[in-house]
Amino acid sequence: MLKWVLDLGMAVLLAGLEVAALAAFVFAESMKKWARSGGSVPGETSRFLLALGGGSTSSALISWSLCRLDLPVACGTQAVVSALLAALLILGAGTEGGRRIRRYRYRRRLRRERRQWHDAQHEN
């Protein structure tokens, strides 16, 4: 009975701490954005991806150690939290990667058009 109470308590406590830490991080980042009057904050995406990666990794390690301690509910809860953070990390990295690819292709097209215009001016 005591083991089940400990197991459920650890599950709730650790999941609550993960949510509170992520909420505090998002709040701090939004305060930075608010201080700049809604402008972009340098390194915002990299900090977000780093926080998600660190959170996912730490949740996975905590889940592994809880399984070793034979606390199945807490282990399962941390595994789910780790999977959710990893999914957010993949979505965030994919979005940022797509944004960078679009920006690169747009700049490359502009350079090509400028070069063509410049060559056409010299031919006349």
Q: What is the pLDDT of residues 50-93, one digit of tens each?
A: 999 999 999 999 999 989 989 999 999 999 999 999 999 999 99
The pLDDT value given to residue 124: 64
CA distances from 116 to 15, 69, 103, 104, 106 (A): 58, 67, 20, 18, 15
pTM (2 d.p.): 0.76
Q: Is the pLDDT of residue 39 over 80?
A: no
% pLDDT > 90, the chain: 56
The pLDDT value given to residue 81: 92
Take residue 102 and report the two structure tokens written for it.
């679009």
- Distance separating alpha carbons of residues 76 and 21, to the nearest angstrom: 19
